[in-house]
Structures are given as structure tokens and as C-alpha cells.
Amino acid sequence: MAGPEFPHDSPQGAAGEALGAGATGGEGARAKAEWRGLKGDVDNLADVAAEQGRGLLDAARLQAQDYIEQRKGEAAQSVQDLTRSLRGSGRDMADKPHVRAFFDSAADGLESLGTSIERRSLGDFYGEAEAIARRAPVAVAVGTFVVGLLAARFIKSSKTLDDDAPLAGDPRDSFRA
């Protein structure tokens, strides 16, 4: 500690008394005991708060993992539904073998993606994304930039014409160019 452990520990004066204290030996010992008790109570409260914080964090983590697992199952089901649709479309192309082969190949790829989504955990996906980012950081940065541009373009294009029009009844409208 940088300062005295007890608040009444202060520099001694010339007569050997604590400056500004004026407490007798018995009162000083009792004050030190009270201070130690208070310090112990604060330490116990801090331990309880830290334990409750860890419990809350664990509960939030479990809830997030359950939510992600549920969404992962829904995503895998959507991919499998798309696979069935592609296979059905490929069967309709029986007279065109090259086109049917394309549909079958796409369906096979989607089927493996669907089973991969079901089989893997969140940690697996995170580890794979991290490995890709480590192998090709420039590609990840460029991809993120492109996605940002596309999102901005989408948001800008979804703006309605009324958003550009000034508000009716605004007294500043007559001053706008």
C-alpha cells in the first residue's frame, strides 16, 4: 500500500503523539480492530459480487449458445430445403444432361454444407473463420470493405422519395435551395 493501512495511522509529532489524533491506546486498538473488520466485510462483498458476476456471465453465455444452436439448426434445415428444391429442378431437366449435372452438383455441395452446419459447433465455426483471417488478412479486409459498400448502397437505394422532401410546415423551407 502506498499510504498507511489504517486511517488514523499518521505521522508522529515531537511529543510522540499522533498528529491530530488525541486517541488513547485502547481506543486506537479498538479503532484498528473495527477498521480490519470493515476491510474484511468489504473484501467479502467484493468476492460475492465477483461470484455473482461470473454466474451472470455464465448464464448469458449458455443462453447465447442455445440461441445460436437453435439458429444453426434452422439454417441447416433451410439449406437442406434448398437442396431438395435443386434436386427437383434437376429432375425436370432430364432431357438436358449437362444442365441436370449442374443442378445435381450444386445440390451435392449444398447437402454437404447442410450436414457440415449441423455437425459443427460454434467454436468450430469461430476457429475456421479465425484461421481464414490469419491466412489471408488482406482478403478478409477487402471482403469486409466490399460488404460495407454493398450495405451502404443497399441502404441508400432503399431510401424513399419522401425522405428527400422537406418536412411540410417547416418555416425554414423557404430558405432552402
Stretch 85-104: mean pLDDT: 84
> What φ, ψ does residue 12 adopt, rounded to 5°?
-85, 145
Place of cell 456471465: 57
Tell me what pLDDT residue 55 has: 87
Residue 152 confidence class, pLDDT cut points 50, 70, 90: very high
More confident site: 143 or 161: 143
Average pLDDT of every residue of the chain: 79
**What's the grid cell of residue 172?**
425554414
The widest CA-to-CA distance across the chain, in whole angstroms, is: 112
Question: Could you give the 3-state DSSP secondary structure of residue 24?
Answer: coil
Residue 92 confidence class, pLDDT cut points 50, 70, 90: confident
Stretch 144-166: mean pLDDT: 79
> What φ, ψ does residue 18 adopt, rounded to 5°?
-70, 135
Instruction: Transcribe 75-109 into DSSP letters.
Output: HHHHHHHHHHHHHHHHHTTTT-HHHHHHHHHHHHH
Q: For residue 8, how many C-alpha atoms fall within 13 Å in the half-sphere facing its CB?
A: 17
Instruction: Answer yes or no: is pLDDT of 65 > 50.
Output: yes
> Helix H segments across the chain?
25-91, 97-119, 122-135, 137-157, 161-164
Tell me what pLDDT residue 19 has: 43
